[in-house]
Structure 1
Amino acid sequence: MATETDSESTTRDSARDRLLAAAEALIYAGGIHATGVDAIVRQSGTARKSFYTHFESKDALVAAALDRRDERWMNWFIAGTQRHGNTARKRLLGMFEVLRDWFASEDFHGCAFLNAAGEIASAEDPIRIVARKHKERLLEFVRAECDAFAIESGMDARHAAQLSRQWLILLDGAIAVALVSGDADAALDARAAADMLLEAPAAKGRPRNKPNTPLTTKRTAT
């Protein structure tokens, strides 16, 4: 049986979770500056006192909400990627299929972390730090798949790091274009570019065919 202390703790945790969920949803849909604390409190169904109990400021709440989203988004993206094949190449290209499903959903409003970073000027702001950490985690996952692809394809391992950075640009580029254009097929355009990218660095790891040169024969004295 829960004690009174346990019950109060559960209530406090629940209020915090509701504030985080409300902040994440409102900020993702409308932006940080356009979303006030009052709106977050109203949507969360908590008292304003709960906000001050759990967070020292709106920025602290936003950073915590983004941190929460980072964990959930990464778990979703990794699981979706892994369902797209048993080779690194299939998984790498499958990332864009995962993105396309997201782009086609009604609640797609771009990358929450790019959006947040665009609103916060200071690189040392806690919100920017969370956004940067998210991109670092995404790059780390992509790099692991690029390393696996290098092993599969015989690509020079030195190019795996470069490939992973290029891959991240394609992923973020597809997200940005889909947001602005409203076209979910931006993911397919990025996938086509990615497919060519897999071929180019792979070729660097294989010996190039020497150009044909005319055969020369030595003349013998007659």
Structure 2
Amino acid sequence: MQTDIDTPNDTLKKLLDTTERLIYAGGIGATGMDQIVKVSGVARKTIYRHFKTKDELVAEALRKRDERWMNWFITESEKGGTPAGKLLATFDALEQWFFTPDFRGCAFINAAGEIGDPTDPIRAVSKLHKVKLHDYLLQLTKEYGAADPEELAYEFLMLIDGAITVALVMNDRNAARKGKQLARKLLGNRAE
């Protein structure tokens, strides 16, 4: 029998989805608990039963975003087929993302930029996201057979984060195409 009452998992999902959406759109500092309560419809008492602080709530919302974003990014990149094609397809994925109406840059760079304390759980989640992205790129550069897969993965990470930043700060939605051109140069004559 189905009821209109949310299960605890539904409530937590709604809370995390709302928190993620609000902080991505407006920033951590600009998003107060009152706004999270109002938009999510989850009572403050319920929120604090799950999370001791706003930072813990934001960190968990970012963890969920990391899982979803990485799954999407990997799925899109794998469409490149060959090892070189997959590396270049990372920029096709970015281009797709840059043209979405709610694009606000990298949630993890944005979050890390707002939090001064490197031991804060939000910074830890932001760093973990970049480590996971690097590890995926390292997997691709090894498949590609790069002479120095670690260096090439790091260069791709720099290109990806640079393209994201340029797309946001300069409002240049074509930054992924430009990043892809630079990536081709890194791959040399083995590109695609």
Q: TM-score scaled by structure 2?
A: 0.94
Contact 1:24 1:69 in 2 (8 A): yes
Alignment of 1:179-190 (within 5 A): 179-190=168-179
Range moving further from structure 2, 14-23 or 136-145: 14-23
| Residue of structure 2 equivalent to 1:74 | 70
Is 1:33 aligned to residue 22 of structure 2? no
| Residue of structure 2 equivalent to 1:206 | none
CA distance in 1, matches of 2:7, 2:42: 10
CA distance in 2, matches of 1:112, 1:24: 9
For residue 137 of structure 1, the aligned residue among 129, 132, 137 is: 132
Contact 1:16 1:50 in 2 (8 A): no
CA distance in 2, matches of 1:71, 1:48: 26
Is 1:106 aligned to residue 95 of structure 2? no
Greater relative contact order (CA < 8 Å, ≥ 6 in sequence):
2
Question: How many percent identity over aligned positions?
Answer: 46
Offset at residue 12 of structure 1 (A): 2.0
For residue 169 of structure 1, the aligned residue among 135, 154, 158 is: 158
CA distance in 1, matches of 2:180, 2:47: 43
CA distance in 2, matches of 1:48, 1:160: 48
Matched residue of 2:101: which SS?
coil
Is 1:93 aligned to residue 88 of structure 2? yes
Read off the aligned partner of 2:41 and give its amino acid letter.
G
Offset at residue 46 of structure 1 (A): 1.7
Cα RMSD, aligned residues only = 1.7
CA distance in 2, matches of 1:183, 1:118: 21
| Residue of structure 2 equivalent to 1:210 | none
- Report runs of 4+ in structure 1 exceeding 3 Å deviation: none
CA distance in 1, matches of 2:182, 2:9: 45
Q: TM-score scaled by structure 1?
A: 0.81
Contact 1:31 1:116 in 2 (8 A): yes
Matched residue of 1:139: which SS?
helix
Read off the aligned partner of 1:139 and give its amino acid letter.
H
The one-character-per-residue Cα deviations of 1:93-142 (angstroms, maximum 9, x if unpaired) are 01101100100110100000000000011111100000000000000000
Give structure 1 stretches of 5+ with no counterpart: 203-222
Matched residue of 1:43: which SS?
helix
Which entry has the higher C-alpha Rg, 1 or 2?
Answer: 1
Give structure 2 stretches of 5+ with no counterpart: none
CA distance in 2, matches of 1:187, 1:163: 18
| Residue of structure 1 equivalent to 2:143 | 148
Read off the aligned partner of 1:199 and give its amino acid letter.
G
Offset at residue 56 of structure 1 (A): 0.7
CA distance in 2, matches of 1:94, 1:184: 16
